[in-house]
Amino acid sequence: MFRDALLGNKLPADFFQNIKDMETKGDQITHEIFRELDKVFITPIDREDIMELASNLDDVIDGIEATAARFDYLNIQTIDKYMQEFTEVIVKACEHLLEAFKLLSKKKYNSIKQHTVEVNSLENEGDRLMREGIREIFTNRRDPYDDFNLKELYERLEETTDVCEDVANILESVVLRYS
């Protein structure tokens, strides 16, 4: 939904309520995971790892929702190339995380590494995009209010790539213990 908004040149603020609903659903799933962990004696991986993975995955959804909220309350009306590229990076990172989780559920630990490495590379791409975007803001000074809003948005997008990397790092840690 977030991807469709940005790549379709529609503003996430237009989809904000739907994105907020997804974020709320993510919170509910996270809490359900925690409740279920209290009921289960034996888990496929350490209970702490499950909690950390669930919490950090929820942070990814929170980051997407926080970005959409910024489009809304900062009244951002245009989508630039950095926003579009960030969106692609975040979507690709989430796709790799999804594949890694599928492999984790099948206990194919050795195959997970390629996806976590790719997420780490994508996070580096997010760092680059933020630096370039902010450099462009300060090189082509326009309206200070708009510049501040863009900088705020780029930083939030980059923080979302950081959280994707956090999930990948936790997965790598789990793989090291179980492979």
Q: What is the mean predicted confidence (pLDDT) over 65-83? A: 86
Indicate if the pLDDT at residue 56 is higher than 80: yes
CA–centroid distance for 48 within its chain: 21
Q: Which domains does the chain have, with CATH numbers?
A: 2-178 (1.20.58.220)
pLDDT at residue number 4 = 59
pLDDT recorded at residue 81: 92
pLDDT over 90, % of the chain: 57
Tens-digit pLDDT profile for residues 135-168: 999 898 788 888 889 999 999 999 999 999 999 9
Closest CA to 162 of 71, 62, 81, 74: 62
CA 21 to chain centroid, in Å, comes to 16
The mean pLDDT value for 67-79 works out to 84
131, 63, 48, 47: which is closest to 97 by C-alpha?
Answer: 63
- Which single residue is written with the structure tokens 């206990």? 107
